[in-house]
Amino acid sequence: MNVSVNRMHEPDTYQQAVIASAERSIRVLAPAGSGKTETLGRRVDARIAAGVPAREILILTFDNQAKGAFQRTLQRLGVSGNVEIRTLNSFGLRILTQEFPDTRSRTGTVFYGPQEPLLAVFAGDPYGGQLVELFGTLKSHLFDPQDTSQKAGDALEAWVVRTYRQLVPEKFLKAHPEKTFAKSFSQQLRREFSNYEEFLHGRGVIDFEDQKLRSYALLERNPRVAELVRSRYAEVIVDEFQDINPLDQRLIEIISRDATLVITGDDDQAIYGFRWASAEHLIRPNTAFKRRFTSYELRTNYRCPPAILDRSRQLIEHNANRVPKNPISGVAIPGSITVIEHDSRLIEARQIARTIADTLATNPDLDCSDIGILTRRNAHLDELQVHLIAADIPYAIRAERDLVGDWDAVLALLDLSTALRRGKKEVVTDYRAAIGNFKWLPRAIRVEQLSHFGGLAFPEVEMSLRQANVPTRTLKQFLSALSLLRQARTIDLELTVIEERFLGYGAPGGNRSSQDAEEAESEDSSLGLLRKILAGRESTREGAIERLREFIFRAITLKEETGARVELSTYHSAKGRQWKMVVLPWVSGLSAPDPLTRKEFGELESERRLFYVAMTRAADRLIVGRPSSESKEWTSQFLHEAGLVPRPKGQPARPRQSALTTVATASGKAGSKPPKQPARPRNTRTTRQS
């Protein structure tokens, strides 16, 4: 249960200005906790009361969660009539089905195998999922695979060459440097983009981004239909405008030319640069829409108390490319921020669990659902899971990041290892743990046919895999992994075999540099943490395995309990959420900003916005962790910038750059030129989601 700021109070001065505005082009700057959704809901109510038919008001949202929030708000406010509320994708799909019924519009799940050799390496798997994402990026930048003209193809190639370092993941870039491969990559991508369109056409489907691209392209080519669509709407309201991409902007522009246009959002919460979203359209709307916007700021923050609001504002003002704002707290309590420091993540996690237990014990009005623990990456939540389980504190986390699943697989493989050491190959053994967790076996065998391997001797297992047409190379890798598991002399070596040869956190050949191994441990695998916990705690292999078994039993028992849970999440996933108490563990220079951040693409400002979002999730108490002087890591610069931690002596403060200067009336006049491309962090693809 999150705390809520959607209170039924009379609109404040700043909200009332938005509700009553008669301007045709309106920008609403709505920082965290400012009551944006309720303000826009009241504006809709006022417009209907003024004679605008409800059916002529269109609200476009970024996702279904925001759509649901608007629907609930209008219902709570008693707004009558059929106000149209849609996500941008569903709106685009509606245009296709209603205005162009003969056009292909069925959206299908796409598994595409690339034909070009360089792109096959880029895709990294037989289904081309990463490549399909890249096609979506091209479409979001208005590259149309149905436009086969030389001009369009040349423009696509030039753009790909120019943005190559932002388009491809870090590991691919290392193996295929820009100077050598950018041109050939762009040429192959141009051909593959066309092949992909033929692939979709042959199956009679479109992909997710086509819902917007096809509708925009058809409206652009059919002015009469576009005029008919525009005639339906007197007012168009667009939520979370800082998260739109160039295609979104064009689609919004073409359907809102004759309507009152209200764009709303917060450029300080623009955190989806990795999706190629850009806050530039919100910062400079006059340029984007060729119309003069009047700007309003919802100044009162009804979520964050003064202590948290002041420090988060001090942080975000270090960004140069933003619209200045003047927020004030509308919360009666002062709030608190506590900075804690420890020598390691594991020690810090233990203290956080104790603090949560003590807080719950001494505050009867607080329950687990009032507490959120947020980190930059999902992998950084592992230590916290361990100590929450040890303290019997129930928690919620996304299933793919639940370390108990990984550790349960480890336990099953260790039990198999024990059986292999005791018996001979001819003895019937349960090999399901090995088969179900060997990443390189086909899914049909690992999942659908897994039960067939429960009571077989090893020769029968081998024969069954051969009969299932498992590739010879894969079968050899599987047999080698089993042999290595059986021969491992220490539990640490067993964990290494399990980690690299079964669960897939390393190449099956085991040939990794020390740097690659370190990256895999920090990003993908929770087994590095398991090693730390088991090391030195038990003198025997049997004792260590028993300790792991007891831990998993305790974790499963805790999961089965019903009731409120502490929420474990990332900064990104926490956007739009809030808790009375928020914990930001281990804010070091190796987590905030993210190590992959590149200053040359403006990503440092993006990372600063992300940490600002994390800070402003707290409605009462904020706890921030940092590494101590005894740690190998160092305190994040963001804590210095927010005034939470003094700068070390001799370290100069970073000079603030001049920011944009206009907010009160019209936007888009002042400030430096926007960067050519929105910031997009390169993220390595990992087995566990990071």
Query: Over the range 352-375, which residues count as b (16 or more CB within 10 Å of their CB) and which as e?
Result: bbebbeebbeeeeebebbbbbbbb
Six-digit token pair at 434?
Answer: 């090995």
Q: What's the pLDDT score for residue 3?
A: 45
The predicted structure's pLDDT at residue 306: 97
HEC profile of 97-113 = HHHCCCCCCCECCCCCC
Is residue 604 within 8 A of residue 597, CB to CB? The reply is: yes
Distance of CA 399 to the CA centre of its chain: 15
User: What is the secondary structure of 178-204 as a DSSP string?
Assistant: HHHHHHHHHHHHHHHHHHHHHHHHHHT
Nearest alpha carbon to residue 213 among 248, 262, 244: 248
Pairing of strands 300-301, 294-297: unpaired
Measured between alpha carbons, how far is 490 from 473 in angstroms, rounded to an integer? 27
In this prediction, residue 536 carries a pLDDT of 61
> pLDDT value at position 649?
74
pLDDT of residue 119: 86
| pLDDT at residue number 400 | 82
Tokens 């652009």 found at: 220
User: What is the amino acid identity at position 448?
Assistant: E
Contact 329, 306 (CB under 8 A): yes
Contacts for 486 with CB less than 8 Å, ≥ 6 apart: 417, 420, 421
So what's the pLDDT on residue 194?
Answer: 96
Which pLDDT belongs to residue 651? 59
Half-sphere exposure of 218 (CA within 13 A, CB side): 23
| pLDDT beneath 70, residues of the chain | 1-8, 125-129, 423-428, 505-525, 536-539, 597-602, 650-690
What the block records as the tokens of 526 is: 């929770």
List, in order, residues 6 or more apart from 300 with CB less than 8 Å away: 12, 14, 15, 34, 35, 327, 328, 329, 330
Structure tokens at 418: 């024990």
In whole angstroms, how large is the CA radius of gyration of the chain? 27
Q: Which helix (H) or strand (E) holds 312?
A: helix 306-316
